[in-house]
Amino acid sequence: MSHVFHRHLKQRYPTAVKGDGPYLVDAEGRRYLDASGGAAVSCLGHSDGEVIEAIRDQVGRLAYAHTSFFTNEPMETLADFLVERAPEGLSSVYFVSGGSEAVEAALKLARQYFIEIGQPQRRHLIARRQSYHGNTLGALATGGNAWRRQQFEPLLVEVSHVSPCYAYRGQAAGETPEAYGERLAHELENEILRLGPESVMAFVAEPVVGATLGAVPAVPGYFRRVREVCDRHGVLLILDEVMCGMGRTGSLFAAEQEGVSADLITIAKGLGGGYQPIGATLVSERIRRAIAEGSGFFQHGHTYIGHATACAAALAVQRAIEERDLLSRVRWLGEGLRERLLDRFGDHPHVGDIRGRGLFQGLELVADRADKTPFAPSRKLNAAIKRAAMEAGLMCYPMGGTIDGQRGDHILLAPPFILEESHLDELVDKLDTALARVM
């Protein structure tokens, strides 16, 4: 019996012993093509020499120094790097160890901002149904995924949830994408008005929804309208780019493609590419200034914030993406992946929708393609697909969940940016094999 409290106590996991570019290798020597980057993490694959060297070099000089005593060079340089490339108005970076921590920091920064500027009555949060923002209690309360929240409801603060922007199921027949986006922005505004605009703190959303919907981008104009609604009522906009950020959709920040900026942006996963655990919250100048000119101190903090080795690893990952022009590669490979998915699964009786941006693509699985009827929960499709894919030597990220009370199944693909075209063929072949075994 393993003494590790594993994610699932009724499952046995192969032991990963080696990373080799876009592959992971287990103790039996089986190779798995990592088509999901784990969970949209491993953007540079698993054996990048430059990143490994940067980590070695940093550990050799300074592994860690607690940030209540010191700042450190990789943290300062990484902050400069990110702010220089961030959407307008974001001027500083708060470093943490992962995505949930980044979301918690964003929520508390939003709250403290309103206290600093003399609006302590602003405490309500609005997010979207069918969203995931992390598993710590504040982040879990923010997310609207019923299944993930269920057991822990008594521990969660109250958060309002409005409709996600999910054209495949939400856009009405005869409604244009623009009109759909406008309808959703109205829904958000109505919720702000219902709660009382002076009491609302922030609206939280992922620019491209990952874990709960499977790479769903918003319809054109949705985020610009959301930004206008937030501004009209003095509500902060928090964009959660933990999964979709750091180049995954073909631009460094997914928000760039929406033509909006945010008051706070959370990033993680692809920031360190899995070489070290790291996340961050980018903070707008008005929030930074309010705190700097007020109490001067963000009342928060973890032991490992600004970890020197984690920052050095993330800096090496981000420099590699820029120096090797991998964002262009993401756009090019993304098109290739999309073409192959459409070619192979476009007419598949159980693939209802193929969507996404860059190397962030999703397939929605349905029992009936014609009327979009989801599979019955008893099918436990996601576990079966994951198993079949692993048997075929492929890592993909299938998820089941509820869509406004209904079952929904999808597969998320988020492979490393370093793939060759032959890997795209291998990916689609192996996925086909896995799906044929299950459906």
Q: Find the residue with minimal CB distance to ligand PLP.
A: 99
Beta strands, E only, 13-154: 16-20, 23-26, 31-34, 90-96, 124-128
Question: By C-beta, is 72 or 100 nearer to ligand PLP?
Answer: 100
Shortest distance, position 390 Cβ to ligand PLP, whole Å: 20
Strand order across the 16-20 sheet? 16-20, 23-26, 31-34, 394-395
Residue closer to ligand PLP (CB basis): 100 or 276: 100
Q: Which is nearer to ligand PLP, 212 or 309 (CB)?
A: 212
Ordered strands of the 397-403 beta sheet: 351-357, 360-365, 406-413, 397-403
Q: What is the smallest separation between the CB atom of 397 and ligand PLP, expressed in angstroms?
A: 10
Q: How far apart are CA 7 and CA 68, in angstroms?
A: 33
Say how far apart CA 52 and CA 396 lie, in whole Å. Answer: 25
- Toward ligand PLP, which CB reaches closer, 269 or 350? 269
Dihedral, 169, 336, 381, 155 alpha carbons, nearest 10: -60
Smallest separation, CB 412 to ligand PLP (Å): 10
163 half-sphere exposure, CB direction, 13 A CA radius: 19
Shortest separation between residue 164's beta carbon and ligand PLP, angstroms: 12
- Which of 242, 315 has the CB closer to ligand PLP? 242
* Minimum CB–partner distance for residue 209 and ligand PLP (Å): 8
Q: 268 or 431, CB closer to ligand PLP?
A: 268
CB of 197 to ligand PLP, least distance (A): 26
Shortest distance, CB of residue 150 to ligand PLP, whole angstroms?
Answer: 18
- For residue 319, the tally of other CB atoms under 10 A from its CB is 16
CB of 268 to ligand PLP, least distance (A): 5
61 contacts: CB under 8 Å, gap ≥ 6? none
The helix/strand/coil state of 94 is strand
Q: Which of 225, 206, 227, 204 is nearest to 216 (CA)?
A: 206
Nearer to ligand PLP, 280 or 435 (CB): 280
134 versus 138: smaller Cβ distance to ligand PLP? 134
Compute the half-sphere exposure of residue 411: CA atoms within 13 Å on the CB side of its CA.
31
The C-alpha atoms of residue 303 and residue 347 are separated, in whole angstroms, by 51
192 CB-near residues (< 8 Å, 6+ apart): 126, 200, 229, 233, 235
- Positions in the binding site for ligand PLP (CB under 6 A): 39, 98-100, 103, 132-134, 206, 210-211, 240, 242-243, 268
Alpha-carbon distance of 239 to 87, in angstroms, equals 11
Residue 345 or 360: the one with the smaller Cβ distance to ligand PLP is: 360
In whole angstroms, the minimum distance from the beta carbon of 260 to ligand PLP comes to 17
